[in-house]
Amino acid sequence: MAVDRQKKFSIGNWKMNTDLADALVLSQGVRDGVEGINGVEIILCPPFVWLYPIAETLKHTPKNLSLGAQNMHWQEKGPFTGEVSPMMLQKVVKYVILGHSERRFHFNESDELINDKVQSAFEHGLIPVLCIGERSKTNSGSDEMINQLVRDLNEVSEQNMSNLIVAYEPVWAIGTGDAATAEYAGDVAKKIRRKITELYNEKVAENLPILYGGSVVKSNIAEYMDEPDIDGALVGGASLKINDFVEISKEIGRYR
């Protein structure tokens, strides 16, 4: 395990979309489209129920394509009706999205809970894609986002920091078409790196992949990738279209 910035990241968050047939067509279409692209880790995050069938059909897939979950419980097993545990996921996925704003705000996930999940992901050999972001566009100081970062990483060891990806996703930009400007996202990514330097050290901060997410499409991805502190994208809507997600991933691969 361990991630670094030598590789870039293109992550597709399908959210609660697709039926089984769509999921298989989409995952196989992306697999075929990204074959031969180097220097970018492409990660598909379908709904839980499609993970296993997709994993089966992608068995002999190119090394640059992996699976991730959109969420998980922090405990291994027990009386938690409707939940999915890290132990169940660890055989099927390499990554897990944690702290997505839709979980924070529709399901009241607190930073303490997200921190438990982050720690549990490390314990189970999963790489968390930790999402942070402010709700209001006028809160450009992003204190809310920095507070999330600090609390979600509570007591995360320096060693585990090399198994983490951070995705900066301003809530106002998610699914709205109102993407943050690349300059704004780049400045926030720099701010995150500065905070990580303060919490850990420069080496940890320099090694940490920081992604941007929020209305990324194939026509704006290059602008984000031009920002030196942005190492890829977490893509929602556009990851449901084979051609768009393949094009986004190819563009990200040009920046390795």
Going by C-alpha positions, the residue among 69, 97, 74, 98 that lies closest to residue 86 is 74
175 touches ligand PEP by CB under 6 A: yes
User: Left, alpha or beta for 229 (phi > 0: left; psi -120 to 50: alpha)?
Assistant: alpha
Strand 210-213 to 8-13 pairing: unpaired
| 109: annotated active-site residue | no
User: Smallest gap, in angstroms, from Cβ of residue 154 to ligand PEP?
Assistant: 23
13: contact with ligand PEP by CB under 6 A: yes
Whether 213 and 236 have beta carbons less than 8 Å apart is answered as yes
Distance in Å, CB of 131 to ligand PEP, minimum: 7
Q: What angle do CA 27, 254, 237 make, to 5 degrees?
A: 40
Among 237, 249, 251, 255, binds ligand PEP (CB under 6 A): 237
Task: Please pick, from the candidates 188, 216, 248, 252, the single residue that binds ligand PEP as defined by CB under 6 A.
Answer: 216
> Is 68 or 253 the residue whose CB approaches ligand PEP more closely?
68
Give the Cα separation of 211 and 222 in Å (integer). 13
Phi, psi angles (nearest 5°) of residue 176: -105, -15
Contacting range for ligand PEP; rule: CB under 6 A; set: 81-89, 119-127, 212-220, 246-254: 212-220
**234 part of the interface to ligand PEP, by CB under 6 A:** yes
Q: Which residues bind ligand PEP (CB under 6 A)?
A: 13, 15, 169, 174-175, 213-216, 234-238
Which residue numbers are catalytic? Answer: 100, 169
